[in-house]
Structure 1
Amino acid sequence: MSVLNHSAEDTTEERRGYLSSLSAVDKVEHQKLILQRAETLATENSLKNAVDMFSMAFMCGSVRPEQLGSLVDCFLRNYKKIERVKLRVVTQSDCECDGEAGSNVGALFDCPGCHIFLSDPVTIACGHIYCKRCLQRNLFSKCRVCKETIKTWCGEKSILRPNVMLCSLLEKWFPDEVKRSKVNGEIEEQVKKKQFEKAAVLVNENLDSDPDNFLLKTYRAEIYAGLEQYTAAIEDLETLCVKSSNWPERYFRKGKILHDMGHMDESLQLFLQCLALDEDFAPARTEVEKILCDLLSPVPESVKKGLRETTLSSSPHLRWKTSITDAHSAGGVNDMQSSSEEKSEVPNPSEGHERSVLNQAQSLQVQNQVENLSGEEGLKRVSSATQLFGQEKGGLLKRKLSASEQDKSVVKGRNKQKKQRETDTSSCCREVPKTLLDVTDFECSLCMRLFYEPVTTPCGHTFCKNCLERCLDHTPQCPLCKESLKEYLASRKYNVTWLLEELIQKYLPEEHSERKKIHLQETVELSDLTKNVPVFVCTMAYPTVPCPLHVFEPRYRLMIRRCMETGTRQFGMCISDAQKGFVDYGCMLQIRSVHFLPDGRSVVDTIGGKRFKVLERGMRDGYFTANIAYLEDVQDEEEFRKLQELHDQVYMQACTWFQNLKNRFRGQILQHFGPMPEREEDIQATPDGPACCWWLLAVLPVDPRYQLSVLSMMSLKERLLKIQYILTYLQSIPSE
């Protein structure tokens, strides 16, 4: 019988006995099936069965923490469901104002991640800006603004380059804030190097002058934890309850400290609270995966015995692990309760008692059924055994820092917060001094005009989007510092730096409006398909015939990009002329798709459109342009019947010639130009006549000058006679 078919009543020993009878290969296959089933159950929000199935997967072999992602999501959904009342309170208070830390999203100069003044602002790939601290710590996996996966263009050196222009502006506008940010950066470096004593001195010095700086208190809590002064660390984090109750990092830091102290159940509660506020908070998700992996991992009997012998003299983590393994081996709810009673030996200042999350999760593995939660009443009910996050009389674990008490403090302090927000908002909503505003601070160093669609390179320099693209057409280097931008060029994600765009619109509205007007005028001029039409001087092109192109010259890269940006997606194609630059007749090409290569080259799929005659030649930014007039065939209704007969003769003659070609030549033609078009009923339905004529003209081995003479004809009869003459000549040549 497969492990998947074991009922919930089967004991752990029976399962282990069954698994021990399998070969190593069978165990691997069974584990894959079990993990698939466990993930399905977790996705369906069947927490009890999912935990049970993941436990069986651990019996088959090791499971990596990252494989428990679906289980973490299931835990989080249940947590949100049970705690929805508390979360609703927090969400409502968050929506009512933007004054508290963690909800000050509207401030232009605050980091979207930590909502603190931008310290060393770094532009990520999506165009939004974060402080260097948030990105260095990898606090979240997706952008808080646009929800795109965060990409920082770190490269091999993993160096985050601040936005050079924004750093200069912030230092000019807010020197005091920048000074404080530099101090925070020094503390960050000392904490990273584990120089906790030096960092503590610096933190305390700055807290004397800025006692309400909750980031400094967060640093101090981290320093205390590094010095193993956990009580002091917890006290610092507790003072942040009111001002930063909706800040996910606060819950994560507190959870980390409790985790280091060995209180795994309480740390899990806090990590889940962190994820409830921000599901993309990557470090908290990693910690939850590790805790669940530790919980579900089976412990050998020899290890259990050693844990029991050392429980009284060991760290809280060992006592926790011992209680978990004892409860797991017992397989019953009563043993789990007695285990919780043993854990209650750890001093706990909270008044209430509540079942630990991990013990409840473990008991879910052995209970027969868990009643489905429904409505508010369902939050308080349990069935034959414990319910996740439910409360029950009996031996319950004292909680060192009750998450529920923390949330109550949010509710109690709500009115107090609303009063404080009025003063907090004024200090957070910074305004740029008008005397320090200078339009030249927002000028592109390439075009020397006001930024239009400013984009920032990985090296931190900012340019107009069009200006930067033109530079990258020539060389994949930053125009200022000459650093390689090959990776940036390959991605082709030139996203606008939104903060700079907002600053220009807010503080320089007239200048921005004028710059936008100029850009629109230039776009309209480029969109005209009769005047200054871009001309690609390369090969012959014909109406309705595909013409794939490999674009590598900088001037034509610019030309193709402009055709795409203006929306015309069209340009002219002519063959070269030694005297004039290009010939007097050509064909418009319609861009169907563009595939950009990593080095900036592109493969452009085009198809022929209208024919044209060149009236006047010109040049723009290195490529040719022309004023043109479109050509149309002259309609002759009286000769229509004779013209139709001539067309049918030429078509049959062309089919015979094509079928008699060698397979190699026929295959090359089909690959490049596609099959011959079907015969048309109305040969004068379009201004350029039947498509088969242009297909034949493209594939026939004729000199381009002769082809050009046929392209310029406006008489269908003359064109058919020319093609017939060419076919007759080719058929007269004996095949080799």
Structure 2
Amino acid sequence: MHCRRPRRIPLLGPLRAFRFIWSRVAFPAPDGAAERKGDCESGFLLSLGFPPNDHLLLSNRSHVLHTLGRAEEALSDAEAAIRCRPEWAKGYFRRAMALISLGRFEDALVSLLQCAVLEEPDSLRSIKDEITKALHRLLVKLTNRRRVSLEGRGNCLNGYNRLSPALSDPSIPPESDSEDSEDSEDGRRKHPSGVAARPVEEEMQLRKLMDKYRHEIERSRKSSTGYVRHIDLSNVEKNDFECTLCYRFLYQPVTTPCGHSFCRTCLDRCLDHSTNCPLCKTSIKVCLSERSPTVTEFVHHAMEVVMPNECLDRRRQHDEELDELAAAGKDPHHEIPVFIATLAIPTITCPLHVFEPRYRLMIRRCMESGTREFGMCMPMETAENGYADYGTILEIRDVEYTPDGRAIVNTVGSRRFKIVSKSARDGYNTAAVEFLEDNVVPTAKLGESRQLHDTVHTLASRWFESIEPMTKRRILSHYGHMPSVEGEYWTLSNGPAWMWWIVAILPLDPRIQLSILRETSLVRRLEVLHRILRCVMAQQRSRQNGAVSQ
């Protein structure tokens, strides 16, 4: 039966074809199937012309040869694999299996011990079993030699006429005999013939074995240099490293459970809309729940080896895009992302539940670029593009992702801004803005302004103390206590923080709050707030009087 030569498969080609060949190479057929000399898969593997430093294929061919009973050839391939990678545990295991088939149990035990030293701790169980079997075979071999030696000297001992059950089966404990248990004066056990047993041969053999083991370990350490696997670059096509979503070379490649590779940012954008693979539509919810898929190191390293210049260009392109995002709001030419939801107030926390794909992308970009901030504007039908021309910058404190891709974003208001021009990017709104700061209070009017400030602050405190206890508890649980008055508050860009706290909790129409937000005069803002507080307290007294009269 002849095997047709397989066609060349691209490095990142269809995963199912890759899995088929890899399962045949890395995991040979079950017992009995490989013994047929005409087996197609074994014949294909044995006919491969390996490069002299391909340890994986050498190891797998050694396994096939060992299964076919060709121990000498299996040993040769195993040793070649060890020369390629002296620090690879699997090569020593292959050599040990070949040596066991050849009856060289001492050398096999040394190889197994080397494998145990190099293997990962969680994979040592099978290695320990093989070491136990090798030790048992070695002890049986030494016992047989000793029996032959004693018979040659005429010491025909009944206890050594046949192999002891304890040596042939480790699970059977040695039989105890009162005559055999007597010890001589020097502590040595005597045989029934009265001759003391002198295990000199066993001791010398074990010492020789340990010396060989130390020698092999030392040789492995000296030969353990950096592993380099050479490839033929003429067999690699650069198109294999293109992302099928952005049609550019992969950057931070991520491989899905179904075997397809994409740029990490491209895959995140797809997961914002669907939990299925963009190519084969297989469910990849595990990538969505992790939210930080690990970069596939093999693909990343392969790209750096095969196409280093293209990798540098792709990284430079990605860095330029991040720099563009990081420069948001620095000047009118760099627009900030805008979230259209509610009116944000400076110094006041604003928790957000983000579930729309466009805003999930916006939040992710804010985090990746390092700005950790975006603009918040309230919707307004009469304004251009459907949202107000004034807003507040929200600073992201933390982001908590849910397994289905939604995000809980904890933010706090900071700077106020006025929109100069509006635009959009990848589905979400952007705007060029000018940041607002309070006008400097003239020195001549500073005393009057401070007096007005103290009056309004006192009135606001009285109003808050007069509201219902349940409403007060809810306000305190969400907004916290009223901030204390800062020193030289008239020099702050947004004025005193307590004033924004009062604006946030007052029962005001959002349009009135927006008019207060856009005001850059501290005195006028205090005057407006003073009138509002007097009106609110008057309405509160009238309701209380009406309730008493009823």
Q: Residue 258 of structure 2: SS of its match in structure 1?
A: coil
Match of 1:198 in 2: 36
Structure 2 letter corresponding to 1:166:
L
Q: In the alignment, is the contact (CA less than 8 A) between 1:337 and 1:395 conserved in 2? A: no
Q: Does the alignment pair 1:466 with 2:302?
A: no
Match 1:567 to one of 367, 370, 374: 370
Whether 1:534 and 2:352 are equivalent positions in the alignment is no
Match of 1:405 among 195, 208, 212: 212
Residues in 2 aligned to 1:413 and 1:575: alpha-carbon distance in whole angstroms: 69
Q: Provide, for residues 368-399 of structure 1, a one-character-per-residue CA deviation record: whole Å limited to 9, x for no partner.
A: xxxxxxxxxxxxxxxxxxxxxxxxx7964956
Aligned pair 1:610/2:415, yes or no? yes
Q: What amino acid is aligned across from residue 507 of structure 2 in structure 1?
A: P
Paired amino acid for 1:604 = V
Residue 438 (structure 2) aligns with: 633
User: Structure 1 residues 684, 222: CA separation in 2 closer, same or farther (over 3 Å shift)?
Assistant: farther
- Structure 1 residues 669 and 199, CA, compared in 2 at 3 Å: closer, same or farther? farther
> Hey, what's the Cα distance between the residues in 1 that align with 2:172 and 2:205?
17
Q: CA deviation at 1:533?
A: 1.1
Where does residue 578 of structure 1 map in the other structure? 381
2:118 corresponds, among 277, 297, 302, to 277
Report the equivalent of 1:484.
Answer: 283
Q: Using a 3 Å threshold, how does the CA distance of structure 1 residues 235 and 512 change in structure 2: closer, same or farther?
A: closer
Would you say the 8 A contact 1:242–1:410 is kept in 2? no
More moved, 457-466 vs 697-706: 457-466
Partner of 1:215: 59
- Residue 648 (str. 1) matches residue 454 (str. 2): yes
CA contact (8 A) 2:87 2:220 kept: no
**Equivalent residue number for residue 513 of structure 2:** 707
Counterpart for residue 318 of structure 1: 169
Question: 1:437 and 1:275, CA in 2 relative to 1: closer, same or farther beyond 3 A?
Answer: closer
Decide which structure has the larger Cα Rg and report it: 2
Work out whether residues 116 and 127 of structure 2, in 8 Å CA contact, stay in contact via their aligned partners in 1: no
Once residues 187 and 32 of structure 2 are traced to their aligned partners in structure 1, the CA distance between those partners, rounded to angstroms, is 39
- Kept in 2, the 8 Å contact 1:613–1:630? The answer is yes
Q: Percent of aligned positions with the same letter in both sequences? A: 34
Contact 2:115 2:127 in 1 (8 A): no
For 1:325-340, what aligned pairs fall within 5 Å after superposition?
none
CA distance in 2 between partners of 1:591 and 1:685 (Å): 25
Partner of 1:430: 231
Amino acid at match of 1:594: V
Contact kept? 1:187, 1:199, Cα under 8 Å: no
Select between 478-487 and 495-504 the one with higher mean Cα deviation: 495-504
Query: Which of the numbers 518, 523, 528 marks the counterpart of 2:322?
Result: 523
Hey, what does 2:525 align to over in structure 1?
A: 719
Change (3 A) 1:441 1:642: same
CA distance in 2, matches of 1:438, 1:258: 41
Hey, what's the Cα distance between the residues in 1 that align with 2:15 and 2:456?
A: 74
Q: Is the 8 A contact 2:15 2:260 kept in 1?
A: no
What is the CA–CA distance in structure 1 between the aligned matches of 2:31 and 2:390, rounded to whole Å?
Answer: 71
What TM-score, normalized by structure 1, do the two folds share?
0.56
Q: CA deviation at 1:702?
A: 0.8
Q: Does 1:595 align with 2:440?
A: no
Q: Deviations over 1:677-710 (max 9, x none)?
A: 1121211231110111111111111110110000
Cα distance in 2, alignment partners of residues 336 and 182 from structure 1: 63
Q: Using a 3 Å threshold, how does the CA distance of structure 1 residues 432 and 727 change in structure 2: closer, same or farther?
A: same
Contact 1:268/1:288 (8 A) holds in 2: no
With normalisation by structure 2, the TM-score equals 0.72
1:242/1:409 contact within 8 Å kept: no
Matched-pair contact (CA < 8 Å) for 1:184–1:216: no
Residue of structure 2 aligned with 1:168, choices 13, 23, 27: 13
Structure 2 counterpart SS, 1:402: helix
User: Does 616-625 or 455-464 show the bigger shift?
Assistant: 455-464
TM-superposed deviation, 1:284: 1.3
Matched residue SS, 1:626? strand
Question: Offset of 1:207 from its aligned partner?
Answer: 4.5
- Counterpart contact for 1:190–1:198, Cα < 8 Å: no
Q: 1:270 to 1:675 in 2, by over 3 A?
A: farther
Q: Which residue identity does 1:486 align to in structure 2?
A: K
**Deviation of the 1:578 alpha carbon:** 1.2
Partner secondary structure for residue 548 of structure 1: strand
Shift of 1:270: 5.9
Cα displacement (A) at 1:190: 4.4
The answer as to whether partners of 1:264 and 1:320 remain within 8 angstroms in 2 is no
C-alpha distance in 2 between matches for 1:652 and 1:685: 21
- Show the 5 A alignment for 1:114-129: none
CA distance in 1, matches of 2:458, 2:424: 44
Give the superposition deviation at 1:449.
2.3
Q: Give the alignment partner of residue 549 of structure 1, picking from 352, 375, 385.
A: 352
Residue 662 of structure 1 deviates from its aligned partner by 2.9
After superposition, the C-alpha distances for 1:500-540 in whole angstroms (9 at most, x for unaligned) are: 33444444444444444443333333222143211000011
Separation in structure 1 between the aligned mates of residue 523 and residue 247 of structure 2, nearest angstrom = 57
Deviations 1:573-610 (A, max 9, x none): 00011132110110001111111111111011111111
Change (3 A) 1:196 1:398: farther
Structure 1 residues 185, 458: CA separation in 2 closer, same or farther (over 3 Å shift)? closer
Match of 2:470 among 650, 659, 664: 664
Distance 2:186 2:348 in 1: 80
Q: What SS is found at the alignment partner of 1:168?
A: coil
Structure 1 SS opposite 2:11: helix
After superposition, the Cα gap between the structure-2 partners of 1:323 and 1:448, relative to the gap in structure 1 and judged at 3 Å, is: same
Counterparts of 2:176 and 2:84 in 1: how far apart (Å)?
40
The Cα shift of 1:566 comes to: 1.2
1:613–1:631 contact (8 Å) kept in structure 2: yes
Q: Is 1:685 the counterpart of 2:491 in the alignment?
A: yes
The one-letter code matched in structure 1 to 2:261 is T
Closer, same or farther: CA 251–586 of 1 in aligned 2, 3 Å: same
> Alignment partner of 1:635: what SS?
coil
Q: Give, as a single letter, the amino acid of the residue that structure 2 aligns with 1:405.
A: K
Deviation (angstroms), 1:487? 0.8
Deviation of the 1:663 alpha carbon: 3.3
Q: Map 1:284-303 to 2 at 5 A.
A: 284-285=124-125, 288=128
For residue 408 of structure 1, what is the amino acid of its counterpart?
A: H
Cα pair 1:542 1:694 within 8 Å, conserved: yes
Shift of 1:167: 4.0
Tell me the SS of whatever aligns to 1:611.
Answer: strand
Equivalent positions of 1:9-88 (< 5 A) are none
What SS is found at the alignment partner of 1:688?
coil
CA distance in 2, matches of 1:317, 1:627: 86
Structure 1 contact 526–566 (Cα < 8 Å) conserved: yes
Residue-by-residue CA offset, 1:327-350 (whole Å, 9 max, x unaligned): xxx9x9x999979xxxxxxxxxxx
State the SS of the aligned residue for 1:707: helix
User: What's the counterpart of residue 159 of structure 1?
Assistant: none
User: Relative contact order: is structure 1 or structure 2 higher (C-alpha 8 Å, sep ≥ 6)?
Assistant: 1
Deviations 1:126-170 (A, max 9, x none): xxxxxxxxxxxxxxxxxxxxxxxxxxxxxxxxxxxxxx9634399
Give 3-state SS (helix, strand or coil) of 1:523's partner.
helix
Amino acid at match of 1:248: A
Does residue 442 (structure 1) correspond to residue 241 (structure 2)? The answer is yes
CA RMSD of aligned residues (A): 4.8
Which whole-Å CA distance do the structure 1 matches of 2:105 and 2:457 have between them? 82
Query: What amino acid is aligned across from residue 355 of structure 2 in structure 1?
Result: F
| Cα distance in 2 for residues equivalent to 1:573 and 1:688 | 16
Q: Counterparts of 1:505-524 in structure 2 under 5 Å?
A: 505-524=304-323
Given that residues 165 and 174 in structure 2 are in contact (C-alpha distance below 8 angstroms), is that contact kept between their aligned partners in structure 1?
no
Q: Deviations over 1:399-439 (max 9, x none)?
A: 69936425535768999x89xx9xx98xx522301xx6654
- The structure-2 alpha-carbon separation of the partners of 1:321 and 1:240, relative to structure 1 and needing over 3 Å to count, comes to farther
Distance in structure 2 (CA, Å) of the matches to 1:453 and 1:205: 35
> For the residues of structure 2 that align with 1:234 and 1:318, how far apart are their CA atoms?
28
